[in-house]
Amino acid sequence: MFERDAVTFSLRQLRYFLAAAQTLSVTHAARLLHISQPSVSTAISGLEKQFNVQLFIRHNAQGLSLTPAGQLLLGRARELLRHAHEVQTSLLHFSNADSGPLAVGFMVTLAPMLLPSLVRGFVTRFPEIHLTPSEGDQAQLLSELREGRLDCAVTYDLALPSEFSFVPLAVLAPLVLLPGGHPLTSRPTLQLADLVTEPMILLDLPLSREYFLSFFSGAGLQPTIAYRSGFADVVHAMVASGLGYTFWNYPLSGWHTLPPSGLVETRLIDALPSIRLGLVSLNAAYPRRVVRTFQTHCQEILQPFMKTSG
């Protein structure tokens, strides 16, 4: 069905035909378009062959005259080229304007700390941009980027396929979150060995889970996992209530909303891998101006964290 209904002529052919129809001369049309005469003649001949009609009567040195088929195409060509120009103008405006829709995904673990402030500050600065935020895990965000439902996503650079581009926004070292009053909070720094016998509350999400557990496996240690949750807010609330400790990367001082009361942050002296937070988009997508504007906004807000926070 698609092949039978496919358009077999080009806008360029119509532009060349229109110039010839307006000037009634291949020579004058070529001059008007700044192209060669054979290019105009080839375009007209191509249209005639595709439609199996004669569009012009050639009068040699006396120029051209339109046939009834040519008269019909002249009106349609003008209309079609006008619509094509409107489409081009609309898309260029959509691509280059600081206005219009912008769909941004946030890693679900980051959303409570970052989404409210980033969105509030952005829509205040750029009221003509209609930002729609959403949350999801890494797999969900990447899927929605592939499907074109998201323009970009704020997430970590964990297991990103090569089809995605990544613009770093912050470099975050792992931290330990402990409940207030825990004996280990009296120490300025900790080692993994200090935590082995302590009850761990694991953020049980793909990639996050593997990242945090790799700390122990890399050191030949075994953590004591007491509880698991796939919700960061639940993990933090459990730590604050005294049920154990957890790992986190975003420093409490950088939260743009109030963290749960009763959390104490402590640094680790072990050589553990930091994680990069950034803006992810699909390589195949042409970045619209609104995406670049959002990227700059995020870079300004997160500039203090571009050096390892640990």
Q: Write the CB contacts of 21 (distance below 8 Å, at least 6 apart in sequence).
A: 56, 64, 66, 70, 74, 77
296 and 152 inside one domain: yes
248 and 182 inside one domain: yes
Domain count for the chain, please give it. Answer: 3
Does any domain span residue 245?
yes
Fill in the DSSP letter of residue 284.
T
111 and 143 inside one domain: yes
Phi-psi sector, 273: left (phi>0), alpha (psi -120 to 50), beta? beta
Torsion of CA 176, 182, 185, 191, to 10 degrees: -50
186 and 259 inside one domain: yes
Indicate the pTM of the whole model: 0.69
Does any domain span residue 310?
no
Strand partners for 72: none
Find where tokens 């396929």 sit.
Answer: 161
298 and 244 inside one domain: no
13 and 87 inside one domain: yes
224 and 263 inside one domain: yes
Kindly give the parts of the chain with pLDDT less than 70: 1-7, 89, 92-97, 254-260, 284-285, 306-310
What is the C-alpha separation between 1 and 7, in angstroms, rounded? 12
Closest CA to 110 of 118, 101, 121, 122: 118
Does any domain span residue 90?
yes
CA–CA–CA angle 100, 93, 131 (5° rounding): 15
Domain of 195, CATH number, reads 3.40.190.10
- Boundary-marking domain end, from 36, 71, 96: 96
Are the C-beta atoms of residues 278 and 166 closer than 8 Å to each other? yes
Does any domain span residue 225?
yes
* Strand 100-107 relative to strand 129-136, pairing: parallel
298 and 180 inside one domain: no
Supply the angle between the helices 68-96 and 37-51 in degrees, to the nearest 10. Answer: 110
Sheet holding 263-268, edge to edge: 189-190, 263-268, 175-179, 246-248
3-class SS of residue 300: helix
284 and 141 inside one domain: yes
193 and 257 inside one domain: yes
No. of helices (H) and no. of strands (E), the chain: 10, 13
What pLDDT is attached to residue 122?
93
pLDDT digits (tens, 9 = 90+) for 20-55: 999 999 999 999 999 999 999 999 999 999 889 999
Q: Range of 120's domain?
A: 100-171+275-305
